[in-house]
């Protein structure tokens, strides 16, 4: 098991799959903190080798306009993370 110091994320391997759970900072006033978290803290949890990865949790942001109602809370850092790792948003 691999936690991050902030307590906002943890990763563990289960049957050859890295399972990562995160809880991002929330609120409009914490947008920069959330982007920093996604750019730095979450990357600490990512595997260094090529393996299957499942990332779940409360991201407090979206990557597509189709994913929200009301005021959008888009995240460039989350988009970069997903594209950079070749992940799919389900």
pTM of the model: 0.84
Q: What is the mean pLDDT of residues 68-78?
A: 85
Is 73 within the bounds of a domain? yes
In this structure, is residue 54 part of a structural domain? yes
Is 29 within a domain? yes
Candidates 38, 35, 27, 90; CA nearest to 64 is: 90
52 within domain boundaries: yes
In a domain, 80, yes or no: yes
Q: What is the pLDDT of residues 43-55, one digit of tens each?
A: 889 888 878 999 9
- What span, in angstroms and rounded, lies between the C-alpha atoms of 30 and 8? 14
Q: What percent of the chain has pLDDT over 90?
A: 56
Within-domain flag for 81: yes
Domain containing 21 equals 2-85
Per the CB < 8 A criterion, the answer to whether 61 and 24 are in contact is yes
Q: For residue 90, is it within any domain?
A: no
């Amino acid at each position: 098991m691999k936690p991050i110091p902030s307590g906002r994320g943890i990763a563990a391997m289960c049957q050859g799959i890295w399972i990562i759970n995160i809880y991002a900072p929330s609120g409009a006033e914490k947008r920069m903190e959330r982007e920093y978290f996604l750019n730095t803290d979450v990357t600490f949890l990512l595997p260094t080798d090529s393996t299957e990865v499942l990332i779940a949790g409360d991201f407090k942001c979206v990557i597509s306009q189709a994913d929200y109602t009301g005021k959008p809370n888009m995240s460039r850092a989350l988009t970069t993370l997903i594209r950079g790792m070749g992940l799919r948003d389900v």
